[in-house]
Amino acid sequence: MSTVAVSVLDANVLVLNRNYHAIRVISARRAFSLLYKNIAEVIHFDDEQMCPYDFESWVELSRLREQFPPAEDDDYVKTVSVDIRVPRIIRLLFYDRLPRRAVKFNRRNIFARDENRCQYCGRKFSTTELSLDHVVPRHRGGEATWENIVCACTDCNVKKGGRLPSEAHMKLVRLPVKPKRPPLLHVRLRSSKYRSWRYFVDEAYWSVELQ
């Protein structure tokens, strides 16, 4: 393949195991490597119908872009002979296990869960303008848990101080809970580019960690 824009090869691709269970998210670069080695196949939806493609048939399908104009959010990798469409989903042909991974309790996932919104005033801020607040202050026994940590803007954090929200006459926009899947995946699903992931990623069953 010829040199391409980094953003295209770094596009997200959902990986299914042999039993069509979502297990992880990888880059398009890695996905193409698995397809070329015949370790995986593309899973593509056409008019709500699921169709599998090996690497050669996927390349051939990509050649038809002149007859069937691609959607605005489609990505293509340019090669000498053909522009290959970046798949959104691939299925591993020989792997049927499911990963056992808990959602990591870290700053990035908390910001993603709260959608970069202050959980007191409801306004959205950049990460540099937000801090993490203990709903029940630490000096009152509050712990660093999913249920007790929320994003807060500077003004709200100062207003609340070391008090409970009720004591500061403040209310949470929503109660903080531990996500059932990594919040960043939820953000991805809102993009039309990844709408086909919804067929396989269900909050009640799958836990997919971005890597």
Which of 200 and 5 is assigned the larger pLDDT? 200
Asked whether the beta carbons of 153 and 122 are under 8 A apart, the reply is no
Position 208 scores a pLDDT of: 42
Position 91 scores a pLDDT of: 94
Q: What is the pLDDT of residues 122-131, one digit of tens each?
A: 999 988 899 9
Report residue 67's pLDDT band, with 50, 70 and 90 as the boundaries.
low
Q: What is the mean pLDDT of the chain?
A: 83
Letter string b/e over residues 89-121, b meaning 16 or more CB atoms within 10 A of that residue's CB: bbbbeeeeeeeeeebeeeeebbbbbbebbbbbe
Position 68 scores a pLDDT of: 61
Position 135 scores a pLDDT of: 97
Q: Name the amino acid, one letter, at 167.
A: E
| Radius of gyration, alpha carbons of the chain | 21
Q: Quick one: CATH architecture of 107-160?
A: Orthogonal Bundle (1.10)
Q: What angle do CA 76, 43, 207 make, to 5 degrees?
A: 105
Phi-psi region of 174 (alpha: psi -120 to 50; beta: other; left: phi over 0): beta
> Cβ-count burial of 199 within 10 angstroms (0-12 exposed, 13-18 middle, 19+ buried)?
middle
Q: What is the pLDDT of residues 71-111, one digit of tens each?
A: 667 888 888 888 888 999 999 999 877 666 667 888 888 99
Q: What percent of the chain has pLDDT over 90?
A: 43
Asked whether the beta carbons of 87 and 62 are under 8 A apart, the reply is no
Mean pLDDT score, 150-172: 95
* Pairing mode, strands 89-92 and 12-16: parallel
The residue extents of the domains of the chain are: 6-100+183-210, 107-160
